Amino acid sequence: MKKHKHFSTTRLIMLFFLLAILVGSVLLALPISWQKGVSVSYLDALFTATTAVCVTGLVTVTTYSTWSIFGQIVILILIQIGGLGIVTVMSGIMIGFHKRIGLGQRMLIQDAFNLNTLSGIITFTKKVLIGTFIVEGTGALLYMTVFIPEFGPKGIWISLFNSISAFCNAGIDIIADNSLCNYTLNPMINFTTSMLIIVSGIGYIVWWDFLGVIKEFPKKKFRCFKELTFHSKLAILVTLILIVLGGILFFIFEFNNPLTIKEYNVFQKLMASFFQSITTRTAGFATIPQENLTNASSYVSLILMFIGGSPTGTAGGIKTVTAAVLIASAIATIKNREETSLLHRSIPKQSVNKSVAVIAVSFAIMSVSTILLCAATKANILDILYETVSATATVGLTRNFTSTLNFFGKLVIIGTMYLGRVGPISLFIALNTQKYSPNAIKNPTEQISVG
């Protein structure tokens, strides 16, 4: 019974995302969505709608020079829907009009955020919506300090667009055709974008847990952080490790690269390096042309992109907690321990199995996509890998390859972005039609050699 309900809600969420993509593609295919003198094919409109709803950021046509204000508004709405989830947006509208949210709707929200309980789910949704708009509004105000002096009144719209895009980890901007490369040395743009990426990618569950602990800070000082939940501690710890380690590696590998940061001073090199480390966590903005990175930096970027952000946030990837559980499981196996543990806590076997499944299926999607693109193009394998990992993990970073995709290549990336956004486990739950039976006959057990 539970499995059937989970199957139904998961399928609905996938259909909602598909419906949003199709509606968005039709709107973007209308001439009113294009700038004067520009014509966009339906495939490019479909690609743009998919990258917006899937908050990926890969684009086949330049956003700022292709789409009219109407088209940009459509894209921004799709980004917001994709970042929050269409179920959350619909629930927010119902809450705003004081409509009753039934059990089915609550189950959809539960699946959308991968929560373990239905208790307090409406309060959770309200807090998510309010928190999102506060953070996005703060980001827009900070951006305005740079964009209004540069672009005048248009800077307000650019600031709002960029803030929502950064918070939703979409990586789409309406400033230039080279992302944020014109602002590599601008501390405000670097700080604001990084803040939005980290805050949204850490996960909503961590938000409320962290804020609750902060309230106790005056009484308990730094001891209060011990009261964070195990999930929050793990998500925050892994996020910090990845950001710091990635920033240091980029700083080392790009230090003398004349195509990236060689000519900068130490502070500027550190700022560019840490931004690269943060944006690869599925944000997709670039202050350094990705095709100019050294091979070592590119490989580090691929790893960070594949891992992505934390659960219940707007980021994609296999998630920080998933990667940590898999590593802990591998260490336990090497040490011949039956128990998988992290931070002196045991990890349930179900969580370990799910982590393995998520990584295996994500890797399979990325691999199939890579093989198909290799067959369809004659591009460098590193360029193709960057594209497919970026699409699978909904990142949006590219080595200037997306705009060169042919018809078949665009279809491959569209499918990869969609599968990456809905999640590998959700996909297989939705497609699984086998009925669960507690009395099912078990297959005989046989020993095999592994490793």
pLDDT at 3: 47
pLDDT at 224: 64
Each residue's pLDDT tens digit, 245-258: 999 999 999 999 99
Is the pLDDT at 128 greater than 90? The verdict is no
- Between 196 and 14, the more confident residue is 196
Question: ∠200-421-106 over CA atoms, to 5°?
Answer: 75
**Contact between residue 206 and residue 95 where contact means Cβ atoms under 8 Å apart:** no
Most confident option among 9-13, 33-37, 107-111, 217-221 = 33-37
Q: What is the mean pLDDT of residues 436-444?
A: 60
Q: What is the mean pLDDT of residues 18-25?
A: 94
Task: Name the maximum alpha-carbon separation found in the chain.
Answer: 72
Q: State if pTM tops 0.85.
A: yes
pLDDT at 60: 94
Is the pLDDT at 1 greater than 50? The verdict is no
pLDDT at 14: 81
Each residue's pLDDT tens digit, 165-214: 999 989 999 998 889 999 999 999 999 999 999 998 898 888 888 887 77
